[in-house]
Amino acid sequence: MYFSSRGASFVYNPRITPKRPILVASVVPTDPCLPYASSPNIASFFAFLHHTSMPELPEVHTTASMLHTLIVGHTISDIWTDYASPYHRGKDNIKDPTFFRAMKKLVIQSTVVSVHRRAKNVLIELSSGHTLLVHMKMTGHLLYGTYQRNAKFKVQNAKVTHVKKPSDSESWRAVAPEILKDPFNQFLHFVISFENGKHLALSDMRKFAKVTLINTKTLYASEHLKHTGPEPLEKTFSFADFAARLAIASRGKIKQVLMDPYIIAGIGNIYSDEILWAAGVHPLSTVSKIPLSSLKKMFRSMKEVLAKGIDFGGDSTSDYRNPLGEHGKFHYHHKAYRETGKKCPKKGCTGTISKIKMNSRHAHFCSKHQTLYN
């Protein structure tokens, strides 16, 4: 399934590629557009982590489209991980060491046939008849370049010895391109080595990401994908389809319903705020109370906002980077998300952007032009 914001195949556009950030020898954010960027203390950095946002449809689409250009035709020579969790024992993902060992046998010497996206999942199809599914979760992003494997050491009885625990015995560092040395790209927990000497690495600061291997023939029927809602940017996804999906949760609050992956795929905290701002609908509105005219406006806004997110290479308000290690640029174009206290940018509107808490998330909206329907 390949599509761009305009229904054609995705083309990476250097004109919208962001400038590379200044590299620093710390993990404090350095991009001035990011929260806490100018603060040198670690407490502020962990406050930033508390507000991280999961990559949404435009970020995952950007990743998958770029990887399709970068890795299709290359053969896997090795894979590595230091994920290992007793909680995941017996589960079908690489955090279970037994699963990882079995997966390794199946993917080595396989060639990448295709890379595409379903919802917030990157799907790497292999010649072996299997597909690697990667869900980047809160802080994960996939990076392509050259990495070097290093042995870790520990001091024991005043002697330096190799660490013997397999998950602690190795680490990786970026060699090229230089931008991969960005501090946010250093939390490597899964690495694919290719025959051309390049690597695909998963940087995952909070270790929430999911990587699994699925038979390609049963991919969309698997537990990982079968309950996922329709794709909002598909040409065949009509307003009638949109209204029918929302009606499944007619008593729900519209922001939470838009974010439900079983209703519509790929929309999260950032883009739901921007869609509702553009549509003039308050995030606490009850779905069944929203008039038809506003629903139609919301449908158009959804298509336009997600398309814009793709056009700008995703959003790097949090720590998202594309496979070349670069920031997206959508965060320079927010109208509501994290714009609390600022004047509403809608022409002629005298409102102010406000913030409210909705369960574990925050909603950002205009106090004036976004109507509450209840």
Question: Where in the sequence is the domain holding 187, given as residue range(s)?
Answer: 14-221
Q: How confident is the model over 250-279, as pLDDT tens digits?
A: 999 999 999 999 999 999 999 999 999 999
The domain that contains 248 carries what CATH number?
1.10.8.50
Quote the pLDDT of residue 152: 57
Question: Burial, 283: exposed, middle or buried (Cβ in 10 Å; 0-12, 13-18, 19+)?
Answer: buried
Could you give the CA distance from residue 314 to residue 56 in angstroms, rounded to a whole number?
8
| Count of structural domains, the chain | 2
In-domain check, residue 371? no
**Beta carbons of 214 and 200 less than 8 angstroms apart:** no
Quote the pLDDT of residue 93: 93
Best CA proximity match to 313, nearest among 57, 73, 116: 57
In-domain check, residue 226? no
Place of tokens 């549509």: 279
Quote the pLDDT of residue 358: 94
Alpha-helical segments (H) within the chain: 42-50, 57-71, 97-107, 239-247, 254-258, 269-279, 292-311
- Give the pTM: 0.83
How many DSSP H helices and E strands does the chain contain?
7, 13
The domain that contains 184 carries what CATH number?
3.20.190.10
In-domain check, residue 115? yes
**204 and 265: one domain?**
no
Domain stop point among 188, 221, 254: 221
Q: How far is CA 107 from CA 91, 127, 130, 214, in A?
A: 18, 9, 8, 11
Q: In the structure encoding, which two tokens stand for residue 90, read together?
A: 């017996």
**280 and 307: one domain?**
yes
In-domain check, residue 229? no
Could you give the CA distance from residue 80 to residue 211 in angstroms, rounded to a whole number?
12
Quote the pLDDT of residue 2: 33
Q: In the structure encoding, which two tokens stand for residue 244, read together?
A: 């029918």
In-domain check, residue 227? no
Residues of the chain with pLDDT under 50: 1-50, 153-169
Could you give the CA distance from residue 318 to residue 328 in angstroms, rounded to a whole number?
10
Q: How confident is the model over 54-78, as pLDDT tens digits?
A: 899 999 999 999 999 999 999 999 9
Could you give the CA distance from residue 60 to residue 271 in angstroms, rounded to a whole number?
13
**70 and 175: one domain?**
yes
